[in-house]
Amino acid sequence: MAPLITVVIPTYNHAKFLERALLSVLDQTYANWEALVIDNHSKDNTVEVVKNFNDPRIRLIKIQN
């Protein structure tokens, strides 16, 4: 089933806030969602934070502008 809700989380070097944001999404009672973390090539541990969740509904997309 395709997700009905998409949560978009843009980030750049804000890994310290990213875990809290993703936990907030996970804490919701509604389950038909996906979370897209849009990372503009952060130099912190953003990738590791996303990988630690190990949830297929959470995806990391790297962009560079």
pLDDT (tens digit, 9 = 90+) per residue, 4-60? 999 999 999 999 999 999 999 999 999 999 999 999 999 999 999 999 999 999 999
Residue 65 has pLDDT above 90, yes or no: no
In the chain, count H helices and then E strands. 2, 3
Residue 1 has pLDDT above 90, yes or no: no
In this prediction, residue 64 carries a pLDDT of 86
Q: How far apart are CA 22 and CA 30, in angstroms?
A: 14
Helix (H) or strand (E) holding 22: helix 15-26
Of 45, 48, 23, 52, which Cα lies nearest the Cα of 35?
Answer: 23
